[in-house]
Amino acid sequence: MISTIHGFCHAALQDHALLSNRQFESEITNSDDDFWDQALKDWWRLNTYPLSSQAWSLFHQAIPGLSDLLEWHRPLRRHPRDRVVPEVSASLAQLLQQQVDIDAAAEEYAAVLRDLKARALGEAHRYASQRVAAEKLTAAQLSYQDQLDFLLAALQHKTGARLAQRLRRRLPVAMIDEFQDTDQVQFQIFQQLYFRQRDLSLTLIGDPKQAIYGFRGGDIFTYIEARQDPELRVFALQTNWRSQRGLVSAVNHVFTRRPDPFIYNQAIGFSPATAAAINDSARLSIKQQAMPAMTIWQLPLQPNGKTHNLGVTEQLINQALVGEVSRLLKRDNAVAIDGRPLQSGDIAILVRQNREGEIIRDSLAAAGIESVSIGHDKVFHSDEAQGLYHLLEGIAHPGNEPSLRRARASSLFNLDYLALADGMDDDINWQTWIDQLQRLHLCWVTSGFIAMFEQMLELVDLGRALARQTDAERRLTNLSHLAELMQQQSRTSPGVDALLNWLQRQMTGDAGEEAELRLESDAELVKIITVHKSKGLEYPVVFLPFLWRCRLATKSASLLRFHDGDNRACIDLGSDDFKRHGFIAEKERLAEDLRLLYVALTRARSKVYLAWGDAGDGRSKGQPTHSALAYLLHSQQTPQDLESALPRGFDGSAAMLEQLRQVLQDCAEIELIDLPEGAAAAGVLRPGRDGKPAARVFEREMGLAWRINSFSSLTRDVHQVAHAGERISQGDAILDFPAGSHIGLLLHELLEHLDFTGDIESQAGLLISQRSPAYAINNPEQQQTLALWLQQILAAGLDRNGLCLNQLSRQQRLNELKFDFALDHFDVTAVNDLLQQDKAHTLQPISAPRFRGLLTGIIDLVFEFDGKYYLADYKSNFLGASLEDYSPPQLARVMLDRRYDLQALLYSVALHRYLAQRLPDYDYERHFGGCYYLFLRALRPQSGPRFGVHFERPPATKLAALEDLLAFTPATPAII
């Protein structure tokens, strides 16, 4: 039996479902992030919406928003067995009850926020863990991690001995390859099965120097623990069967300079390898002259001795790399390996990030050198996924014009503005497009996704559109890959919308390994590959252009993952020891970077090119002094030093080159030369006068600022402060009525069609029975409550003189008054300044960008009473389960917090302009009555305006000021 560890665990659970207390059939899901995110959102709603304003303010300081909670929680869900610090004994409710003085000492206030953050994340994790486990059990789904956790739990259960015995009997001999990449749970499973057992054999095969998958859950500390078990016997392979003798010697020299090259020397040492004689013929030669096994390119400095910034350094390296690859492939140079000419497919360029590889690929292409990219990027994050989603959206909804337009503008077609305009403005072309998508929609519904996809390629000529674009092979590969994954998913997500929603979730989430980008060509081309992806592979010639870069683990980190003195994994959410734990996290980061460096240097068979030197301005990420190469070649720090200080290999660039020469002088197989000056590739930015890449300045005015906005879009980024008090009332069915936007829409529709002066009970019964099912209100009790609610709304007094809505005839009412303001500018800053005037506290600013176009809106109700004209806006917001939550002071605060003050002023301007057009003798002071904001849940005839009514009448000066900001300046006609 050959299987992955996850596959072994899944088979064990399925074959022994009764002993493992699991379901007989479970579906493996690539990611359970959707379950977690939904559970955490529910926790957020349950625990933040009821908070008072003071408690919310404190909570908001600790966890600013839901997105922060989701981001900070991911390490907890991925490493649920980690110890979390600090450990907070007080509950979340107790912490939020503290009366904290914001002006208190910074340390005291920071401690409160730290404890609050830790406790909130802990309680959210416990709540979400239970919810996710229950939902996955109901759905009969398992994540990859669940397979491990459940099998270990089954083995540790009272029936675990019987389960273990059956597994041993079936598999008495086990071999685990790449053991250095396992984690604690995996190791414990095999400990339970094979350790301290007779007549069994367990062989753990792995090289700890190549443990580079920490980001996937690999835990080198698990290997360290296993290595210390006295029952294990350790064997080592000393012969290198990959690389030629000179390269083995060069790598040995780099890693034997110091006694602790991999930091954790107790378990990860370095023994010089011996090259196999069979590889002696692999030495690279140019015109029959043998080349050194390793070439180090020294990064250049500026004439003043300062380092180049990162962008310029990257550019110079790319140019040198393109020049050297061109030289190696030039036939006149007679470059040979193993007695044959060097081919493009013999060259590999190893990078840390796919972004680096993309730049190199473009530079090679500009020089006429074809290459192929291999990396860990996910196909769902590609441009083709976004373009396919837009196209499929149009096919899924061929009757929706915006979807049709987005589909036509899909990046898969790569159409310019003129081609788009021709396709959309020409009636014949547009109708042809609609017909094509309708045919594809019918095919999708009747024959399935893959049949539709194959027809789509031909019908809309998609294959030819992709073939005309740059990097066409990559794009076609991605599109085919996406189609295959969607066809697989269509078996479990039947239906057009279900599959489309699944694609959208994959585009915004973390997909599994099956979604990693595939090789787009089998041709023997230059290979650009990440170091992680290159593990286990070999290439005759390897370029390592960017190993001088590193990414600090603690930079802008809001939490840290590290291992304590007992090698136990921990997550620090902000303890008093956060700084010290940060040093340990950096030590672990450096140790993994050293192992990554080892993997990179040992991929070559014949020759390695390595760029090394100082770069950056000291503030940019990627500063070489913190890198693995700096630790190996320059640093005097010991592993113990790294417990209390950041890694630092050298101080300044001046002495670095001389030190490097001394380090390398004893190894003839390593040559140190200046970075070659390669010809600048087309399309690469050239340095400006200050040494920074200089792009042309775009000076034309683009017409993208024209848009249609409304109050909702202007206030989209305004944080909706929770004002809800108690969740359940003392028996008030109206206050307890379900909340949500659909309830508001239903109430608006009912009020629009009621005759306020007629028999409300009979009208309401008929209207509710007709219209409420469309809003999911089917319960007879809820429908009765709704009828009572409408009667209460219309009979409630709006002012002290007894004004009620049931006094208004149809002739006195105007429902749903729509308006559009034409704007040649909208100065958001000036609007904010106007609204802030005369306010005691700072309001949340409107953050919409400046724009021109239309500002549109709909006023729920305009009515006339006693010669004055009023506007009314219906609000169904749930502010609490007590009428006191809807008192005038509370409503005044809600108006400002949710920026209804802007809405009221905009509506007032609209009504003001409308009346000025319709009333010949219109005068604001005489005719404009004011604005009613009616919070419908609290309107009661017996209470009058004491609850649920907010009234304001904007001063004429303020109205005039906003009118000036909304003024439209027509274009001046040309004089001919």
- Which tokens in the block code for residue 79? 């490493």
Q: What is the DSSP string of 165-217?
A: HHHHHH-SEEEETTGGG--HHHHHHHHHHHTT-SS-EEEE---GGG---GGGT
| Continuous H helices in 22-105 | 33-48, 53-62, 66-78, 92-96
* Burial class, 123, CB count within 10 angstroms (exposed 0-12 / middle 13-18 / buried 19+): middle
The closest alpha carbon to 672, from 613, 597, 602, belongs to: 613
- Which tokens in the block code for residue 490? 């269509």
Helix (H, G, I), strand (E, B) or coil at 529: strand
Q: Which helix (H) or strand (E) holds 482?
A: helix 472-490
How many residues can be counted in the chain?
976
C-alpha distances in Å from residue 208, one per residue of 194, 205, 233, 235, 584: 21, 10, 15, 13, 19
- Taking the C-alpha atoms of residue 877 and residue 888, their distance in angstroms, rounded to an integer, is 15
- Which tokens in the block code for residue 912? 């003001």
| List of residues 6+ apart from 178 with CB closer than 8 A | 205, 206
Query: Phi and psi for 375 in degrees, rounded to 5?
Result: -160, -170
Pairing of strands 949-952, 928-935: antiparallel
Helix (H, G, I), strand (E, B) or coil at 2: coil
- Which tokens in the block code for residue 827? 């100065």
Q: What is the dihedral of CA 393, 395, 400, 401, to 10 degrees?
A: 90
The edge-to-edge listing of strands for the beta sheet with 285-286 is: 289-290, 285-286, 335-337, 340-341
Helix (H, G, I), strand (E, B) or coil at 267: coil
- Taking the C-alpha atoms of residue 549 and residue 357, their distance in angstroms, rounded to an integer, is 14
* Burial class, 639, CB count within 10 angstroms (exposed 0-12 / middle 13-18 / buried 19+): middle
- Which tokens in the block code for residue 387? 């373009």
| List of residues 6+ apart from 831 with CB closer than 8 A | 846, 902, 962, 965
873 is catalytic: yes
- Taking the C-alpha atoms of residue 434 and residue 404, their distance in angstroms, rounded to an integer, is 7
Q: What is the DSSP string of 405-453?
A: HHHHT-TTT---HHHHHHHHHSHHHHHHHHHHHHHHHHHHHHH-HHHHH
Q: What is the DSSP string of 632-670?
A: HHT----TTGGGSS-----S-STTHHHHHHHHHTT-TTE
The closest alpha carbon to 932, from 897, 899, 895, 958, belongs to: 895
Residue 221 near residue 563, CB atoms below 8 Å:
yes
Residue 772 near residue 753, CB atoms below 8 Å:
no
Q: Which of 219, 614, 873, 897 is catalytic?
A: 873
- Taking the C-alpha atoms of residue 533 and residue 558, their distance in angstroms, rounded to an integer, is 29
- Which tokens in the block code for residue 525? 């081309």
Helix (H, G, I), strand (E, B) or coil at 815: strand
| CA torsion through residues 355, 255, 538, 209, sign | negative
As annotated, the active-site residues are 873
